[in-house]
Amino acid sequence: MSKYVSIRLETATRSAHGGQRAHDLRSGEMPDYVDPLRSKDNSYLIKAPNARTMASKCLTRRQSRTDLRRKARSIRKDGIVALKGLLGFSAKAQPEIESLAKEDQDRRFKKAAEAVAAALGTTLVGLVVHRDEAVLHAHFVLDGYGHDGKPLSTKLTKGTCSGLQDTVATAYADLGITRGKYLAERIQDGEDYSKTIHRSVRELHRDLPRELEAVRAQVAAKRAELDALEKAMADVELPAPQEVEVVTGRSMGFPQTEMRPLYTVAAISKAMKNARAKQKLAEDKAAKAARDLEDQTRELERLQRVKQALEDAEQAWPRVAYAGGPYLDFDFLQALRTPIETRYEALLQEQHDGQMVIAPPQAASARQIGAALCSAIRDRGWERAIVTASDEVAAVIRDLAQEEGVVGRLTFTRQGIDFKTRGPSLAPGTPSGQPEVDPVRPRSDSAPGAR
């Protein structure tokens, strides 16, 4: 494993910024993985403003690029007010960073964070270094709007994010610490692909059977509880009767008697009253148990669907074609990377290198699928996307691209379509607008998602 530094960026609303700020400044309840005895070693270099101040600053910058008649009056409650970032290191680089003096660590973190802010055209407003968790890392916060009055979310394209990895690496270049390798390079170099996938996918395979078994046990327990409550509602417990002597007949002039149980009206009334109270309590508990059973049954069904989806994916996604470079093959886990959306029954899936894998199930019409894919690629801001679809869908996408004047940014291959929504055309491209067919032979098995 090489020594590298990496950066992770995420936009934040008011509430998200408030939660992150509390975590960064160690205010409020701390998670279990934080060692409070080491919190004194943290560096609070720049304390980020609260959410209201961040929103006010974003509004001021936003208003600076509009005339008086069109000035925005406020930032929406769910609007982006900040960009939060995380600076971390590979396991091999960690010892070298930790061996540095605390002041040197802080200086380098600040240099890297300021470089990111400058590259995005905004301001660094928060920076803390955490030394009370498992590994040394830093959190930083940037204003959600740039100096030009535009939201940073519009600037976070694949190319920009990739460039920022190089930007932060400059603060550690003298230590021999570089940016992480591109995913394609890591696989080409023979690195085990299982190390490159998102950790949650591995956890899902590991934890899903245990979670299913736990939920099944909870469902069975709730069903048993519900049965017991229903039985309790049906049973009425009567009090112990009084024993009285009753004359049953006469023999040789003498009365014949025996002891018999006798229920008085008062005793029966009291028993019925108690029974009704117990029944009401049992009904309330049964209703709650039924709701819990319904919730847990839904959770069980959800986990079963996830399990089935994983099993189906192993069959349906034996490989995914990578549009860039020498047609590398990735296993089905890459196709399971979140976020996942479905539009017009077209499956949109983010890929590790910032691209999007699209494999429509073909249940919708070609026109619907083609329109959905073009719109999704454009709306989500991906510069490139891999589209595995039928020839009919490919024709629709090409027609729509011609209408928008971007057909020159399409490259057709036998594995799918490489669609670029902004920037210069990618080689092999067709600036003339006439797509060319890649000469590689199609695989004998159909591409994933094709019908």
Give yes or no: residues 162 and 18 share one domain.
yes
Tell me, yes or no, whether 21 and 109 share the same domain.
yes
Query: In 3-state terms, what secondary structure has residue 62?
Result: helix
Preceding peptide of 95 cis, ω within 30°? no
- Taking CA atoms, 125 is separated from 103, 113, 144, 396, in Å, by 19, 10, 10, 46
Any idea what the CATH number is for the domain that residue 67 is in?
3.30.930.30
Pick from 120, 123, 211, 198: nearest CA to 157: 120
In a domain, 86, yes or no: yes
Per-run averaged pLDDT (10 residues), the chain, 451 residues:
80 88 86 83 93 90 68 74 89 87 93 93 94 88 90 80 84 83 47 42 56 72 71 60 71 76 68 72 75 78 70 46 33 40 42 46 64 69 59 78 67 48 36 32 34 27
Domain contains 120: yes
Domain contains 10: yes
The verdict on 360 and 392 lying in the same domain is yes
Q: Give one DSSP letter per residue of 34-47, joined into a string.
A: --GGGGGG-EEEEP
Same domain for 280 and 337, yes or no, is no
With respect to residue 448, please indicate whether it lies within any of the assigned structural domains.
no
**CA distance linking residue 233 with residue 42, whole number of Å:** 60
What is the extent of the structural domain holding 397? 321-420
Q: Is the dihedral of CA 296, 297, 301, 307 positive or negative?
A: positive
Residues 26 and 126 reside in one and the same domain:
yes
Long-range own/partner contacts, residues 55-61 (CB < 8 A, 24 or more apart): 55/14, 55/79, 55/81, 57/143, 57/145, 58/143, 58/144, 58/145, 58/151, 61/143, 61/145, 61/146, 61/147, 61/149
Residue 235 lies in a domain: yes
Convert 155-179 to b/e letters by CB count within 10 Å (16 or more is b). Answer: bbbbebeeebbebbbebbeeeebbb
Residue 189 located in a structural domain: no
Both tokens of 136, joined, read: 């040394």
- Cβ-proximal residues to 307 (8 Å cutoff; 6+ apart), any chain: 208, 209, 212
Q: Which ranges of 317-351 does DSSP label H, i.e. alpha helix?
A: none
Same domain, 278 and 398: no
Domain co-membership, 339 together with 398: yes
Q: Are 283 and 295 in contact (CB under 8 A)?
A: no
Q: Are residues 314 and 216 in contact, defined by beta-carbon separation less than 8 angstroms?
A: no
- The verdict on residue 451 lying in a domain is no
**Whether 384 and 403 share a structural domain:** yes
Give bridge partners of residue 128 from the DSSP assignment. Answer: 44, 139
343 plus 290 within the same structural domain: no
Distances (CA, A) of 133 to 76, 89, 168: 34, 14, 22
| Per-position b or e across 238-248, b if 16+ CB within 10 A of its CB | eeeeeeeeeee
CATH number of the CATH domain containing 263: 1.10.287
Residue type, 250: R
Residue 422: its pLDDT value, please? Answer: 41
Q: Is residue 129 part of a domain?
A: yes
Q: Of the candidates 268, 291, 314, which is a domain's last residue?
A: 314
> Does residue 373 contact residue 389 with C-beta atoms inside 8 Å?
yes
Give the C-alpha separation, 435 to 439, whole Å. 12
Determine the residue type at 312.
Answer: D
Beta strand pairing status for 410-412 and 417-420? antiparallel
Task: Count up the domains in the chain and report the number.
Answer: 3
Domain boundary among 314, 339, 357: 314
331 and 308 together in one domain: no
CA gap 219, 228 in Å, rounded: 14
pLDDT of 332: 39
For residue 118, give both structure tokens. 């400058």
Answer yes or no: do 24 and 136 share one domain: yes
DSSP 150-167: -BGGGT--HHHHHHHHHH
d(CA 242, CA 239): 9
> 314, 341, 358 — which closes off a domain?
314
Q: Do 165 and 288 fall within a single domain?
A: no
Q: What is the 3-state secondary structure (H, E, C) of 238-286?
A: CCCCEEEEEEEEEECCEEEEEEEEECCHHHHHHHHHHHHHHHHHHHHHH
